[in-house]
Amino acid sequence: MIRYTNLVRSFGATRALNGLNLEVRTGEIFGLLGPNGAGKSTLINLTAGLLSPDEGEVSIGGNPAGPGGGSRSMLGVAPQALALYDELTAEENLRFFGGLYHLAGRDLSGRVDWTLDFAGLADRRKDRVKTFSGGMKRRLNLAVALIHDPETILLDEPTVGVDPQSRNAIFDSIEKLHRGGRTIVYTTHYMEEAERLCDRVGIIDHGKLLALGTVEDLVGEYGGRSAVVVQTGGRETRIPTDDPVAEMIRLKQERRVRGLRLESPTLESVFLNLTGRHLRD
């Protein structure tokens, strides 16, 4: 449904995307993971038609992304850098962005009410954005992305800097959109979000796709071995193994063990195994 073919995009000497190939399926929540500077936002912005590729193509439902491609009204985007007018109220922001999609009159009012309600901001509709908390701004940023009821929704770090309550509200919203048949592309640095929400995950770094699949597939393929952590006396020893149960039984018989713990690989193990442990930027 969204197809990226040999995508290249540079900023000066920096190759933000370096020959990326990927297909996002209709109706899935697709998680895009990668370290800082991996190229996630560049990919979102190319999908939204806010940037053009240097080489390669982005197509959405068979149409090229970008101006004139006919895909803009099908897409909603919540950018990483909040795109809101601080001096306007929540409602005025939604009316402004709705107007850009040629919504007017009763249609616009209906969508404004729906999105405010959806984002849990109905009672704050008349307040200026500059009085909002970080979580309320993120929720309004999401509401703006939905004003024209798009088929495909691009969310670039939609939960950054929000408290657990707002984060859960955003998760619930995303799950509702998913149940309603929307396609969602979701970037995040939070592995547990991808584990909870995403049908499939793509891990990118240095502008290339490194791995693609369900969380379970990725953990199986790239997560590495389980380990048994054994406590004896005051010490903990970590023992990697392919058969943790057998290893635990053996340890219990052999040593005077105070405690045993199983460490299974997670999406974070996959991420670190694929992208390394060195700091970025």
Ligand X SMILES: Nc1ncnc2c1ncn2[C@@H]1O[C@H](COP(=O)(O)OP(=O)(O)OP(=O)(O)O)[C@@H](O)[C@H]1O
Contact 73, 111 (CB under 8 A): no
Comparing CB distances to ligand X, the nearer of 81 and 106 is: 81
**Nearest distance in Å: CB 37, Mg ion:** 8
Compute how many other C-beta atoms are within 10 angstroms of the C-beta atom of residue 78.
24
Tokens 């509401």 sit at which residue?
143
Please give the sequence-ordered ranges of beta strands (E in DSSP) within 135-279, or none if there are none: 152-156, 183-187, 200-205, 208-213, 226-232, 235-241, 259-263
Comparing CB distances to Mg ion, the nearer of 183 and 188 is: 188
* 14 touches ligand X by CB under 6 A: yes
* 11 touches ligand X by CB under 6 A: yes
* 278 touches ligand X by CB under 6 A: no
- Site track for ligand X across 79-108, x = CB under 6 A: -x----------------------------
The full length of the chain comes to: 281
Contact 147, 101 (CB under 8 A): yes
Tell how far CA 181 is from the center of its chain: 17
Task: List residues binding Mg ion (CB under 5 A).
Answer: 40-41, 80
What does DSSP assign to residue 235? E
* 16 touches ligand X by CB under 6 A: yes
Residue 85: contacted member of Mg ion, ligand X, none (CB under 5 to 8 Å, by partner type): none
* 34 touches ligand X by CB under 6 A: yes
Please pick, from the candidates 2, 24, 42, 244, the single residue that binds ligand X as defined by CB under 6 A: 42
* 78 touches ligand X by CB under 6 A: no
CA 148 to CA 150: how far, in whole Å? Answer: 6
Tell how far CA 45 is from the center of its chain: 14
Comparing CB distances to ligand X, the nearer of 41 and 115 is: 41
Site residues (CB under 6 A) for ligand X?
A: 11, 14, 16, 34, 36-42, 80
